[in-house]
């Protein structure tokens, strides 16, 4: 139990650091809201009063403490551009993003795993080398280019014109397919090539193990070995990796996909918030994703501490 407490405390200290940095960047050095609130041509006394109300005159520490208190009590404030409560904004848009991203993310990873199995089985012979070369090629193509090529090809009169090029009016499977197919294809492409070599290395390591060599020597076939021996033993690192890439996909992936395809998800919301300097929204997104990442790390630390030195080392509290 002490280790559990230690790690939890450590995770909390990480959160403290993250919130401090986001406070400094977005509140302390962030936009001065007094002018916006005061309207045109305010006089000095008015401004001063507003600044007083916003707490701008208080010392740094008490402002920071107030900031944390608001976050912890989920008091996220109102969006400045739309006037909606931030919490509601998030509640509306996060499901959209999940609907948009999760299927492609999962399919992409499954596909990567399948291809990695093929590569690992045919280690060092042509299927393996082909896949390795392809994946190097694949990761070198920018996500943007994939999106643009796919959407030009599938969504414009220049190409096949099968899908709408923008928008999101989803109320069922067929409408989901209409709007989500092209973004998902782009996501699948990136996910496959991003993960293929990692999974291959993982499976290869496992195939070096004695028990698999023995199984092979006794003539067990590729399916038997892969699905009943190698896969179960690599499941934990695979799951950990999935968990770890989820926050990044949700925040960064959605930012690009949703702003390009005009989909009203969390990425679009953050995109708009960035350009309107909508501080309460940005704050909420940064803090929530940081919490998510810290929680994932904290979880992974218990599931599987030894996946990769980059992951395992960073939560060892001494």
Using CB under 8 A as the criterion, which residues of the chain lie in contact with other proteins when the complex forms?
10, 13-15, 17-18, 21-22, 24-26, 29-31, 123-124, 128-129, 132-133, 136-137, 139-145, 148, 152, 156, 158, 165, 247-248, 251-252, 255-256, 259-260, 270-271, 274-275, 277, 282, 285-286, 289-290, 293-294, 297, 309-310, 313-315, 317-318
Shortest Cβ distance from residue 49 to other proteins (Å)? 25
Is the CB of 175 or the CB of 314 nearer to other proteins?
314
**With contact defined as beta carbons under 8 Å apart, do 93 and 269 qualify?**
yes
Residues 88 and 79: their CA atoms lie apart, in Å, by: 10
Residue 295 near residue 242, CB atoms below 8 Å: no
Task: Name every residue whose Cβ is closer than 8 Å to that of residue 79 and which is 6 or more positions away in sequence.
Answer: 85, 86, 89, 273, 278, 280, 281
The CB-based long-range contact list for 129-135 (8 Å cut-off, 24+ gap) reads: 131/196, 131/200, 132/197, 132/200, 134/193, 135/192, 135/193, 135/196, 135/197
Smaller CB distance to other proteins: residue 46 or 259?
A: 259
By C-beta, is 48 or 216 nearer to other proteins? 216
State the nearest-atom distance from the C-beta of 148 to other proteins, in Å.
6
Using the minimum distance from each CB to other proteins, give the nearer residue, 48 or 308: 308
Least distance between other proteins and beta carbon 166 (Å): 11
Q: How far is the CB of 48 from other proteins (least distance, A)?
A: 24
Backbone φ, ψ for residue 271 (5° rounding): -60, -50
Residue 297 Cα distances to 10, 167, 242, angstroms: 11, 34, 12
- Residue whose C-alpha is closest to residue 190's, from 245, 239, 232: 245
Nearer to other proteins, 104 or 253 (CB): 253
- The nearest distance, CB 109 to other proteins, in angstroms, is 20
């Amino acid at each position: 139990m002490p280790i559990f407490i230690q790690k939890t405390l450590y995770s909390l200290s990480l959160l403290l650091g993250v919130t401090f940095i986001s406070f400094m960047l977005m509140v302390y050095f962030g936009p001065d809201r007094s002018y916006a609130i005061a309207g045109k041509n305010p006089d000095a006394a008015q401004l001063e009063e507003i600044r007083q109300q916003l707490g701008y005159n208080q010392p740094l520490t008490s402002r920071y403490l107030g900031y944390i208190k608001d976050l912890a009590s989920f008091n996220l404030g109102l969006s400045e551009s739309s006037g909606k409560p931030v919490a509601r904004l998030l509640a509306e848009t996060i499901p959209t993003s999940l609907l948009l991203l999760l299927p492609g993310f999962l399919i992409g990873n499954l596909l990567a795993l399948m291809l990695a199995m093929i590569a690992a089985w045919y280690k060092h012979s042509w299927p393996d080398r082909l896949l390795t070369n392809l994946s190097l090629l694949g990761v070198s193509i920018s996500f943007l280019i994939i999106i643009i090529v796919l959407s030009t090809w599938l969504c414009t009169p220049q190409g096949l014109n099968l899908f709408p090029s923008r928008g999101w009016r989803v109320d069922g499977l067929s409408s989901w397919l209409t709007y989500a197919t092209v973004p998902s294809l782009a996501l699948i492409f990136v996910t496959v090539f991003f993960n293929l070599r990692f999974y291959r290395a993982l499976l290869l390591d496992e195939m070096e193990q004695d028990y698999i060599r023995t199984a092979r020597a006794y003539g067990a076939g590729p399916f038997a070995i892969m699905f009943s021996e190698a896969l179960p033993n690599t499941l934990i690192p695979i799951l950990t990796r999935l968990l770890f890439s989820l926050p990044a996909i949700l925040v960064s992936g959605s930012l690009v996909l949703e702003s390009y395809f005009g989909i009203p998800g969390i990425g679009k919301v953050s995109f708009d918030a960035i350009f309107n300097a909508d501080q309460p929204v940005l704050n909420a997104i940064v803090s929530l994703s940081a919490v998510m990442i810290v929680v994932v790390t904290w979880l992974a630390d218990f599931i599987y501490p030894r996946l990769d030195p980059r992951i395992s080392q960073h939560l060892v509290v001494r």
